[in-house]
Amino acid sequence: MKQNQYLWSFLFAGILFLTNMNLFSQKTDTIITIPPVDIVSEKPLKDRIVQRIKIDTTLIQNYLNNNLSDLLSNHTPLFVKTYGQGSLATISFRGAGASHTSVEWNGININNPMLGQVDFSQLPIIFIDQIEILPGSSSLQNNSGALGGMINISSHPKFDKKLYGMAGFSYGSFNTKQSFAQIGGGNSKWQSRLRVFHETSDNNFEYYNNANGLWNYENQKNASYEKKGILAETHYQATKNLLSGSFWYHESDRNIPPIMSFQGMERIENQKDRDIRTSIKWISFFKKGNSDLNAGLSFNHLNYYLAHQTQFGLYENYRNSSESESYFLKYKLEFNLRKKLFLRWNSNFDHASAYYIDHRQDQSFNPKRNTLGSSLALFYTHRESTSFYILARKEMIDNKLTPFMPAIGMEINNLFFKRFIIKTNLSSNYHQASLNDMYWEPGGNPDLKSEKAISADVELSYSNKQNSVLFYQISSSFYASLVDNWIVWQPSEFRYWTAQNIQEVFARGLETKTEIKTNFKKLNVVFFANYSFTKTENIETDLDHIKSLGDQLIYIPENKANAFVNFVYSGYQLNYAYNFIGKRFTSGNENDERHFLPWYNLHNIGFSKKWIFKQWSSDIELKINNLLNTDYQAILWRAMPKRNYSLTLKINF
């Protein structure tokens, strides 16, 4: 059995290598660069139909010393469930669960294979150049399993720069100190870049405690953290090839604060994460397309500790570590068969293994998994105004074939008027259970089926001409998704909880996006706004097998909105971000009028000044978060900071 697996992977790797060599040997001309987009219908065929939300670089620049969770929470329809600054942040996308949002960094999946999810508080923006979001069905273009959607973060080489660099320091409320720097350079063939960051915070913010009967202001306890990381990358560009290698190391030590009602003896709770990620990418361009070979690894080491201080010293409740190792090998071929016909073939082999040990009980388990997947997509356009695709994907997990995953899509341009685009996607997608769901002891269930989603969406968008003085773009997406075999941990007959495929969830909703950009003399203004409506309910089956819609899933708001406006005027910059989170249920009770958290608004404001010298520039920026000093809870009885400030100094060359 095992030999068989290795044989498979070996053969697979061999085929990929040969295919790439073959393409490499073709006499082709220079790199195909996509010209700046003007009218949307002139997008290359491969970029049509599929929904792709690209995060504007203005925003990425504005969030340089923040985490991906902050940016996505404030500027996308995605709902970020956060326990506060420095603490766990997960994402629910289109009403799905946290493990249904997958994240790829430079082509490799960085979801923790044990938990199935990503902690977005551990992804610093300084390590990210590009962010692309593929919601729902569109994610199947890259890989399976992202029932909610996929987030691709990547590095982007600057082949036009000889030497560039940046160094910054930020000091903020609660003794939060951040330092970050990058240096890069090379020539038009070689480019290398190094980025580092370090952040510490006491995070001992003051909050009004209305949870213990004392009705007073308290400082948050046991919430300090320290994070540091390094990202090194190098890129080599030849006439028809691009070779990239990147290495990411991240270290995070954080204390976990108690909830607001805690009045017990001191408690020590902390988590230490160590992440290593490497991605090597080789893209070959040829006349009619390109091929992309990607290999990578992702290691995570997590230590969790909980102890109670007692009259006779520390009493240890938990001391456990989880280690996971994932290896990836991917191959992608994109090929224009004819002018109107485009083909994309994706194949991947992933190996994940984990080791969990409970040091206190001296218990451990060591699960493994191999996944082999392949998909083929054909895009066709008819008279340049109507395009279609058809995609088919199949996977083999540990020598067992999974069901077939198909997707289809269509795009119509200029239907009623120019630059009005309708896109629709329909797919059937499967998400494998996480290693913990299957092998946790006790309660893991090796017989779990993959979660299945049937999703459909329609996107309508309109924009005026790209080079208009006042450019605007509006879009609305409607989606519906039925997820079956949703995994839930349930109390079992053995007095511990077990993972079971029991829930069926129907999620549907609407996402709207508005973008306005204008340049008026020296004044540059950008405005973004998002609104999302998410109805995500489990389907209940009564004793007569009659199905009915149950409750909104907990911690997913029906309504979420945000807006951002940025003004730039001769070196001065002013921005304002607004975030609205609607009512969220905190327990799964029908018509529950008691177990919920009320809606809240958050306002952040930033002001900066840039000075430009010959080859140097420097910035100073003041940020005020939670401008109106709002008391709120994102999660029940978890304290959140009131108004807070940060001052950042930056030097660029």
- Residues near other proteins (CB under 8 A) are 210-213, 215, 259-265, 267, 308-312, 315, 317, 358, 361-363, 441-442, 470, 488, 490-496, 516, 518, 520, 525, 527, 554, 563, 565, 576, 578, 580, 586-590, 594-595, 598, 601, 603, 628, 630-631, 636-637
Long-range residue pairs from 22-27, CB within 8 A, at least 24 positions apart, any chain: 23/284, 23/286, 23/291, 23/333, 24/240, 24/241, 24/284, 26/286, 26/287
Per DSSP, the three-state class of 590 is coil
Per DSSP, the three-state class of 175 is helix
Per DSSP, the three-state class of 188 is coil
Our CB check for other proteins shows the closer of 422 and 565 to be 565
Our CB check for other proteins shows the closer of 197 and 439 to be 439
Our CB check for other proteins shows the closer of 47 and 590 to be 590
Instruction: Determine the Cα–Cα distance for residues 580 and 584; give it in Å rounded to an integer.
Output: 12
Our CB check for other proteins shows the closer of 175 and 261 to be 261
Instruction: Determine the Cα–Cα distance for residues 325 and 444; give it in Å rounded to an integer.
Output: 19
Q: Rounded to whole angstroms, what are the CA distances from 610 to 567, 570, 571, 613, 619? A: 13, 9, 5, 10, 4
501 closest CA partner among 446, 579, 441: 446
Cβ of residue 542: shortest distance to other proteins, in angstroms? 13
SS (H, E, C) 314-358: EEEEEEEEEEEEEEEEEEEEEEEEECCEEEEEEEEEEEEEEEEEE
Amino acid at site 55: I
Our CB check for other proteins shows the closer of 194 and 563 to be 563
Cβ of residue 593: shortest distance to other proteins, in angstroms? 11
Q: Residue 175 — φ and ψ, nearest 5°?
A: 55, 45
Cβ of residue 92: shortest distance to other proteins, in angstroms? 17
Bridge-based pairing of strands 420-431 and 559-569 is unpaired
Instruction: Determine the Cα–Cα distance for residues 104 and 326; give it in Å rounded to an integer.
Output: 13
Cβ of residue 50: shortest distance to other proteins, in angstroms? 31
Our CB check for other proteins shows the closer of 18 and 628 to be 628
Our CB check for other proteins shows the closer of 345 and 567 to be 567
Cβ of residue 495: shortest distance to other proteins, in angstroms? 4
Our CB check for other proteins shows the closer of 326 and 485 to be 485
Fill in the DSSP letter of residue 68: H
Cβ of residue 586: shortest distance to other proteins, in angstroms? 6
Cβ of residue 415: shortest distance to other proteins, in angstroms? 28
Our CB check for other proteins shows the closer of 139 and 538 to be 538
Cβ of residue 575: shortest distance to other proteins, in angstroms? 11
Cβ of residue 560: shortest distance to other proteins, in angstroms? 14
Could you tell me which residues come within 8 angstroms of residue 125 by beta carbon, excluding any fewer than 6 positions away?
A: 60, 63, 64, 65, 66, 67, 68, 71
Instruction: Determine the Cα–Cα distance for residues 467 and 277; give it in Å rounded to an integer.
Output: 40
Task: Give the angle 643-644-649 at the CA atoms, nearest 5°.
Answer: 150
Our CB check for other proteins shows the closer of 214 and 238 to be 214
Cβ of residue 211: shortest distance to other proteins, in angstroms? 6
Cβ of residue 606: shortest distance to other proteins, in angstroms? 14
- Is 387:423 a contact under the CB 8 Å cutoff? no
Helix (H) and strand (E) counts for the chain? 4, 36
Our CB check for other proteins shows the closer of 114 and 140 to be 114
